Structure 1
Amino acid sequence: MASLFEPTRNALVPVLVGSDRLTAANGLMGFNSSAARLVGSSLGGLVLGTSGLDWVLAGYLAALLLATALLLPRFRTVTGPAAVPIRQPMFRAWLDGLAEFRRERSLRVTGMTLALGAVAQGMFLVLFSAVGAPAVFGTSGALTVVQTTVTADRTGRVLATTFAEMAAFQTAGTLAAGALVDVWGLGWLLNIQATLLLVAGVVAVAGLRRRAVMRRSTRDATETQSATAARP
């Protein structure tokens, strides 16, 4: 369910808040997701211990129904009517999203950053509240790059590819941590996780600096042309 919901939710955000508040919106969603995991796991354990598994499942279904009801009203958008999507077979659309990563350098850099962060997050899902805060900030920024790089009609398929990549690397991190914790110990794995997050940050800063410089140059050139055209 998350593999369908997460790309759709993140593709909808730029339409609802606009580019000037996109990073803040992504950060808020990341924080809310982390807080919900902590509260939900604690509440689920409490209900399981006091009322049994049936009530845990009932609470889960009730939460899904409430979330569905909140999504039923039509949302007010800031970008005007959405473009009519091109209908494609699911696998073909996924391949098109993958092709965007090959064509766009900033997407490749962002994909590397997200992959490293996903491995680190997968290594210690249980300790996410204590050591996973950098991943929340990094993921929010990386998703903003993806959302602002591709056109609106391709955002959904590119984000679907992005979340599939994150899920695959997070699984790899979880499996690696389980296999290595008895061999290297918890301390070494914590250091490896911190190193992966550091490398992900370095890759993002070094790889996306050129994108920021190019966007600034383009903006300056546009402002210069506008000022020249406005002169009598």
Structure 2
Amino acid sequence: MTAPGPADRRRPASAMAVPAFRRLWIAGMVSDAGDWLMFIALPLVVLRLTGSPLGTSMAFMLALAPPVLLAPLAGRLVDRLPRRTVMVAATLAQAVSLLPLLVVRDRSDLPLLFGVIVAQATFATFFEPAKNALLPALVGPERAMSANALVGLNNDLGRIVGGPLGGVLLAVVGLSGVALVDVATYLIAAALVATLPRDRAGRAPARSGRILRALVDPAIRAPLTVAFVAAVAQGLFVVLFVFFVTDVINGSEADVGLLRGVQAIGAIAAGALLGVLGARLDVVRLTILGAVGFAAITALSWNLSFATHAVIAYGILFAIVGAPGVLLGAGLTSLLQRSSADDRRGRTFAAFGLVQAAGQAVGLLMAGLLQGITGTLPLLEVQAATYALAAVLALLLLPRRLPGTHDNARELATAGNSS
């Protein structure tokens, strides 16, 4: 880790020192809690209506299509329009797109249900690049790592609140009630995002929206390569995790929920620590540490099954593994922010969403096609090896020195501090 210089000691390391970021963070926490309500409720409803795990898998696959198909358009719009405007519009559109769920009753309404899933993923395809592109300008480049960690922290806080609440609401008030609560979270989030400082529009000329240029730039290509390989491993995990708990270590459905939930413990601890100290730490080293740590704990988790099936042992490992996951995710995001000029950052993060969705799709398909042939544990060894490959690529490809920043961060961060 690099020692803080005089400038770092004078300025707070945490992005929470910026009032505008605090409003954005609260908006994200509210919205993420609503997302987890729906993340828990929708698969249960799909499974109930179809009676088939294949239908649930189709729902996951549908959500991956918009980031792949719409990435070029999302990158172009985010680089040409005010990012605050894009975020508010996308959030309001997500709220409206949930309304068809109010009339979903039986199997004949499945097209509506799948349409909502696609619409939600579509508008998120525009929101996420706009948010990631705006953050360095909002908080200043030196606090971007702190901001990214705190934004990631929202997802885990949302999981703790929204996950259990989603199941309870679905049982008590049904899908319509869950949808209305989620609509309310989107409206609150949109109102908070609308208070952010105005950012400049029209950054990029029309031709700069070509997303392939982001994939050609070596400084961008390295983090995207690591992200793609890690996403393949994540796609494998999504399918195989339940089989591991129920078939390999003979756990119950309750154990599935427990082990999935405890991942938030390490993630929250690491997110909070990075949120405070992010500006004082070396981004590249943290990213590599996250990749190596994630690969090591993953391999240990699967191979421990040869020694014990005690759920508590896996609970400890799954609680720990959330921490390197936060380091890897926040680190890759920060590297992409630092490596992209402000007028091309939207395109970069559209490409980021594309490679993550494509990687997860590859992993989901591999797991679905091969699990019945190879069995669960051999395929999980492949999953661990995939994370190990991501760690090796991080060691070999990520730059040892961060590039300078190229944006109007100081101007907008000053506005954010005074808001």
| TM band (smaller chain) | 0.7 to 0.9
Post-superposition shift, 1:174? 1.7
Q: Which residue of 2 aligns with 1:142?
A: 332
Match of 2:236 in 1: 123
Residues 75 and 188 of structure 1: CA distance in aligned 2, closer, same or farther (over 3 Å)? farther
Aligned partners of 2:187 and 2:402: how far apart in 1?
45
Structure 1 distance, partners of 2:376, 2:134, is 39
Q: Which residue of 2 aligns with 1:113?
A: 226
Q: Distance in 2 between the 1:206 and 1:3 partners?
A: 30
- Equivalent residue, structure 2, for 1:31: 153
Superposition pairs for residues 193-204 of structure 1, below 5 Å?
193-204=383-394
Residue number in structure 2 paired with 1:46? 168
Q: Which is further off, 112-121 or 42-51?
A: 42-51
> What are the superposed Cα offsets for residues 18-66 of structure 1, whole Å, 9 maximum, x if unpaired?
1211112212222322342453232211111122111111111111111
Q: 1:101 aligns with which of 178, 197, 215?
A: 215
5+ residue gaps, structure 2: 1-122, 242-259, 264-317, 405-419
Superposition deviation, residue 83 in structure 1 = 6.7
* One-letter amino acid matched to 2:222: V
| Whole-Å separation in 1 of the counterparts to 2:235 and 2:337 | 24
Contact 1:113/1:204, CA 8 A, preserved across alignment:
yes
How much has 1:142 moved relative to structure 2?
A: 1.1
Residue 195 of structure 2 aligns to a residue in which SS? coil
Identity %: 36
CA gap of 1:39–1:125, structure 2 versus 1, over 3 A, is: farther
Q: 1:26 to 1:82 in 2, by over 3 A?
A: same
User: What's 1:3 paired with?
Assistant: 125
- Following the alignment from structure 1 to structure 2, what is the Cα–Cα distance between the partners of residues 19 and 86? 20
Cα distance in 1 for residues equivalent to 2:174 and 2:163: 14
- 3-state SS of paired residue (1:28): helix
Equivalent residue number for residue 21 of structure 1: 143
Which stretch of the first structure deviates more once superposed, 31-40 or 149-158? Answer: 31-40
2:178 is aligned, of 31, 36, 56, to 56
Any conservation in 1 of the 2:233–2:360 contact (CA below 8 Å)? yes
SS in 1 for 2:211: helix
State the alpha-carbon separation in 1 of the partners of residues 165 and 368 from structure 2: 26
1:153 Cα shift?
0.7
Specify the alignment match of 1:212 in structure 2.
400
CA distance in structure 1 between the partners assigned to 2:361 and 2:233 by the alignment: 10
Partner of residue 182, structure 1: 372
TM-score (norm: length of structure 2): 0.45
SS of the aligned residue for 1:52 comes to: helix
Asked if structure 2 preserves the Cα contact closer than 8 Å seen for 1:118 and 1:169, the reply is yes
Are the counterparts in 2 of residues 122 and 171 from structure 1 also a CA contact under 8 Å? yes
Contact 1:27 1:136 in 2 (8 A): yes
* Amino acid in the other structure paired with 1:9: K
- TM-score if structure 1 supplies the norm length? 0.78
Provide the alpha-carbon RMSD of the alignment: 2.5
Compared CA separation, residues 121 and 4, structure 1 to 2 (3 A): same
Matched residue SS, 1:29 = helix
SS at match of 1:75: coil
C-alpha contact (below 8 Å) 2:230/2:386 kept by paired residues: yes
Deviations 1:61-107 (CA, angstroms, capped at 9, x unpaired): 1111111111110338xxxx64742353xxx655x2321321x2121
Q: Bigger shift: 21-30 or 53-62?
A: 21-30
Residue 356 of structure 2 is aligned with which of 151, 161, 166? 166
The answer to whether the 8 A contact 2:231-2:357 is kept is: yes
2:384 aligned counterpart, secondary structure:
helix
CA change 1:53–1:215 in 2 (3 A) is closer
The unaligned stretches of length 5 or more in structure 1 are 217-232
1:72 alignment partner in structure 2: 194
* 8 Å contact from structure 2 (residues 339, 403) kept in 1: no
Q: After the TM superposition, which segments of 4 or more aligned residues of structure 1 sit over 3 Å from their partners?
A: 81-84, 125-136, 213-216
Distance 1:190 1:151 in 2: 39
